[in-house]
Structure 1
């Protein structure tokens, strides 16, 4: 794998408690499906807040050692990534971007940075993706991920780092 060089102005930093407002805004922007609920605005907002709390709690329960990152472009938050650096894999638990930051190659760049970390550790990188999310499936396939199994409604995909060939002396 070639050395990763992020796009100009793009970087990742650990999430801080002060990022809560941004993370709630990002969750709200990422859940267009919930905004289609037929109901009063207050009811929809309460559902969005409940889903955000459930997601946060669920990640904490399932991946207690996960690291939470904020993705920034020129020091402005544009997305988030949740990654569990386990003993046997690097698991991309979640990645999301604000609508205006989508489609610019930032997700590709961030995933490649985590692939580089996995390669340096000599472990595969895994993730799950909704079956209906064809754009993400295409991106992951282009980055070398392959489908390992299907558990409705998600595909488990894996990427394995290249094997370094050791020259043998005869």
Structure 2
């Protein structure tokens, strides 16, 4: 379990989410669901669907990832995002990563992914990341750093991507940098 605040790249830090963050998290989720707002339907209906999706996400993560760690991302004392991690005995899994709109497209996401890759390498685990197929920048980044798609776990919406650290990355004598994918077990 992560306690206190963890320093991250770009002057960010992560801390465990608490009850006082509930409204922030719900607002960020609602604000970032422009995809649902594009549906040709009554505004109240769409907002109800967003609320149901939020409830489903909260309950689904809890059931699917009972040992997940929920973190709030902050910069300069302000909450800018959230990250949900499932740190298993065999693998580290990014369950979810999201930012408020003002913090998007500033390089924060890629720096978080690099931080997770370093943590996975240090703990000698592969890193699993879900990538939306309609997010070409995320997919490009993951391919650039050697992630492979696990087609048995992927679907039409998400490509389930896996990254395996090299032996040199695990012992800290090689930096995490762009490379071809490495296949194998850790």
Same fold (TM > 0.5)? yes
Equivalenced residue count is 162
Name structure 1 gaps, 5 residues minimum.
Answer: none
Q: Residues 5 and 20 (structure 1 numbering): CA distance in 2 closer, same or farther, change over 3 Å?
A: closer
* C-alpha distance in 2 between matches for 1:77 and 1:5: 14
* C-alpha distance in 2 between matches for 1:14 and 1:143: 28
Runs of 4 or more above 6 Å deviation:
none
TM-score normalized by the length of structure 2: 0.80
Deviates more, 1:27-36 or 1:136-145: 136-145
1:12-91 alignment runs, 5 A limit: 12-91=14-93
TM-score normalized by the length of structure 1: 0.87
- RMSD of the alignment, in Å? 2.0
* C-alpha distance in 1 between matches for 2:112 and 2:54: 23
* C-alpha distance in 1 between matches for 2:77 and 2:142: 26
1:1-170 alignment runs, 5 A limit: 6-7=9-10, 9-149=11-151, 151-153=154-156, 154-164=158-168
* C-alpha distance in 1 between matches for 2:84 and 2:142: 16
Name structure 2 gaps, 5 residues minimum.
Answer: 1-6, 172-186
* C-alpha distance in 2 between matches for 1:80 and 1:90: 17
